[in-house]
Structure 1
Amino acid sequence: MKLATKYQGEIEISQDQVIHFSSGIPGFPEEKEFVLLPFLEDMPYFILQSVLTTELAFVVVDPYPFFPEYQYKLTEAQVESLKIEKQEDVGTFVILTLKEPFADSTANLKGPLVINVEEKLGKQLILNDSTYETKHLLFNSLKEEESKC
């Protein structure tokens, strides 16, 4: 099927690429279907593009290369609703806020996106009982790691 996207124009996707968020995403409860698209070739960034709304697209990234100590815990109900059977089926992404200069961009570690890549089911968690924030400097963590070496 054809999909009009915010950043990549009109593209062809298949139905099996669609990820279902049964509760939508906080702030966008009516947005229940998204596709995960590569953003830049050979880069770790992706676009979580709404199937319903062309202008709704989030730049996301796997947090672990930037925040190796990052962790969260799923409840039994969340594991069940996402139909997770193996840890390998789980993809974790965080939404970025892009800034100018790019080095000032931030990651929302308080609201990770958890996706069962096998079942194409997703949920955005809200980590209320954590020290994570919605605006962690993305590249500050890499600089800190490099300075430890």
Structure 2
Amino acid sequence: MKVQTKFHGEIEIEEKDLFTFESGIPGFIDEKKFALLPLEGTPFIVLQSTKTREVAFIMSSPFEVFNNYEVKVSQDVLSDLQIESEKDVSIYVIVTVRDPFNETTANLQAPIVLNTSNQLGKQFIMNSSNYSIRELLIPSPEQEEK
């Protein structure tokens, strides 16, 4: 299928490569099908809606940047995504790129959880976590001292 994308123009995507978000994403509940598209030359990936060109989220693996980051996926999410094995799970966080880049933040409180074996996805809001929705991707020197 041909998809109009925010960052890659029109591209061809195989249906088998799409992730289904049964409940959409909070704030975008009508967006159900997404593709993962690499942002060439960066450590980022784009979660691109197949329905709406402008609905594209820049994401990153949180584990490469935040050494002690932990996601305790709820039983509901495990069930919704039909997760049977940890090896089938990929976790990303949505990144808000700012200018200057050192003010770029990651939403650690609501990771994107993907089941790569059946192509299901969900944004999981960790209400009881100490994580912020705006964690600096590049900590300031003051934060690094903590």
- TM bracket, shorter-chain basis: over 0.9
- Residue 77 of structure 1: how far off its partner (Å): 2.3
- Residue 55 of structure 1: how far off its partner (Å): 0.7
- Residue 40 of structure 1: how far off its partner (Å): 2.1
Cα RMSD, aligned residues only: 1.8
Deviation string 1:49-101 (CA, Å, 9 cap, x unpaired) is 00100011000000001111111212222111111111111000000111011
Q: Is the 8 A contact 1:93 1:113 kept in 2?
A: yes
SS of 1:4's equivalent?
strand
Aligned match of 2:129: 130
1:60-99 equivalent positions in 2, closer than 5 A = 60-99=59-98
CA distance in 1: counterparts of 2:58 and 2:117, whole angstroms? 21
Unpaired segments ≥5 residues, structure 2: none
- Residue 109 of structure 1: how far off its partner (Å): 0.4
Deviation string 1:12-35 (CA, Å, 9 cap, x unpaired) is 110011100011000111111100
The answer to whether residue 114 in structure 2 is matched with residue 102 in structure 1 is no
- Residue 141 of structure 1: how far off its partner (Å): 7.8
CA distance in 2: counterparts of 1:135 and 1:56, whole angstroms? 20
Unpaired segments ≥5 residues, structure 1: none
Q: TM-score, normalised by structure 1?
A: 0.91
The answer to whether residue 113 in structure 2 is matched with residue 120 in structure 1 is no
In the comparison of the two structures, how many residue pairs are matched? 145
SS of 2:62's equivalent?
coil
